[in-house]
Structure 1
C-alpha cells in the first residue's frame, strides 16, 4: 500500500509539473491596426480574418496556417492615428517562430470624399489574404503586439479619369517592442501636415499631424530623413540625420512652419 500511494504521489507531481510546463510554454499575441492617414474624410476597410504561419515560404494552400480569433468588422483607418489603434485579434500561442501574417479583407471597402461614399475596388487576390512578413520568435510567458501600419495614402489608387478607386494595400508590419519611435510637433497647431520618414531615398513610414503633432512607431535603429509638408501656401521642412535608437523615443525640436 505504501508503494502504491508513493506511486500515485509521484505521478501527481509529474502531471502537475507537465501541466505547469505546458502552461508556461504559451505566449500572448495581439494584432493591432494603425494608420498612416490619407487626405480623405474617411477610409473604411472590411477586416474578415487574421492568420499566421511559422514558415516564411508557406503558400496559401499549404498546411500550417493558424486562424486567430478575429474582431471582424469595418474600421475607419483615419481614426487610428497618433497612438490610437484597433485590436484585430488576440490569442495564446505556443512559444516559437512566427514568420507570416495574413490579413483577409472583405468586399465592403469604401472611402468618403467631399461627402460622397465611393467603393474601393479590391483585387480578387485579396480573398486569399495579404501576406505580410513578420519574422519574430515568441518566448514563453511574454506578450507580443504585432502592428499593421496601413498606409491609406499609398494604398488608394485612382483609376485614370473613370472616377473609380482601387485598393492596393501598402502595410508596414512590426512588433511593437522592436525598434524605436519618432515624435515631433510643428509650430502650426491648426494646420495638418504630411510627415514622411525616409532612409536611403526610400519611404519607410508616413503620418499626418494631429493638432500639430505626430508619432511614428516601430522604426528600425538607424538614421533617417524627416520631411514635413504643410499645405501648398507654406514651405516644406526637411530634417536630415535623425537618429532612431531601439527602445527609445526620439522627440524632435519644434518644427517651424512658415
Structure 2
C-alpha cells in the first residue's frame, strides 16, 4: 500500500504518560489514541525498521517546543509481517481531546533488509536518525471518550532506494537508502477492497487508484498472499481503478497477464467484494 505519515495527541494528555494509573473521572475526560503500522510488500524477504521513538506535534509546526513523546517502547519491526489487513500496534493510550498537527518517527541505526539473495543489507536513514521522519496530519481530531485510530501505511517498494553505483562485491552497508514513504489513514475511513486472484502463484501486486471522490487522487497498494487472497483497508469513498501486476514468471506453457478493473465504487464503512480475478 502507499503512504504518508501518522499520529495524533494533545498537550494536557501527555502529563499522564508516566504510566501511573488514572481515576475513572480522569478517564471520562480523555480520548483514546491508537496507532498502528501496516505495509505494502516489496521485493525483499524482510524489511526491519529500528523504531526508537514516536512523537506528535501539538502546536504550530514552527514551534520547536510542540513535540511530545508518545508512550512507545522501542522495537525492531519487520514490516513485511503486516500485510492484508494485519497491523502492528505501536501506541494505545489515553490523551486529551484536541487537534494533532504532525507525527514523527525517530529511527535508530539498526534498520536493515534481507534481500531475495538471502543477504542482509543495512538501511541508511539520513533524516530518520536526526530530525526524524516527519508526517503531517490533516483533520486529525481526538474527540471526548472516543477512540481515534491512525494507520501508518508503509510503502516498501517506494521507501527503499538502491544506490545507482552499487555493484556486487561492494560494501553491503552502502547498497540501500531508506527514504520512507508513509500514508496516514484515519480510523473513520473504514471502507476497503477484498478479493482473490487466480492463479495464486502469480503473486500480483494490486493497486487501488482513486479516480473520483471528495479527497485528492490517491493510490494504495498491497499484494496477494500465497492463497491468492488480498485486502486493502482504510479507503476513502469514491470510484477506483484496480490494477493487478503479476510479480513472478509463469511456468512453461502458461502466461500471467496484467488486469485492470474500472469503475469500482467504494462506499463509506463498507468492504467491496471483488470476487476472483483471473490473471491467465
Contact kept? 1:68, 1:90, Cα under 8 Å:
no
What is the match of residue 94 of structure 1? 96
Q: C-alpha offsets along residues 175-229 of structure 1, whole Å, 9 cap, x if unaligned?
A: 1332511112112223311111223496511111112111111111111111111
Describe the shift of the 1:35–1:229 C-alpha distance in structure 2 as closer, same or farther (beyond 3 A).
same
Write 1 or 2 for the structure with the bigger share of helix: 1
Q: What is the aligned-residue RMSD (CA, Å)?
A: 2.0
From 145, 156, 159, the equivalent of 1:155 is 159
TM-score by length of 1: 0.86
Cα offset, 1:54, TM superposition: 2.9
Cα offset, 1:174, TM superposition: 1.1
Q: C-alpha offsets along residues 90-147 of structure 1, whole Å, 9 cap, x if unaligned?
A: 2210011122211111111111111100111111354222121223111111112111
Moved >4 Å (runs of 4+): 19-22, 200-203
What is the match of residue 106 of structure 1? 108
Describe the shift of the 1:75–1:20 C-alpha distance in structure 2 as closer, same or farther (beyond 3 A).
closer
Contact kept? 1:179, 1:221, Cα under 8 Å:
no
Q: Where does 1:177-192 land on structure 2 (aligned, <5 Å)?
A: 177-192=188-203
Q: Which runs of 5+ in 2 are unaligned?
A: 1-22, 168-174, 251-255
TM-score by length of 2: 0.79
Aligned residues: 238
The separation in 2 between residues aligned to 1:81 and 1:124, in whole angstroms, is 26
Q: Where does 1:1-258 land on structure 2 (aligned, <5 Å)?
A: 22-55=26-59, 57-59=60-62, 62-113=64-115, 114-124=117-127, 126-134=129-137, 135-163=139-167, 164-200=175-211, 204-210=219-225, 211-230=227-246, 231-233=248-250, 234-258=256-280
Q: Which runs of 5+ in 1 are unaligned?
A: 1-18
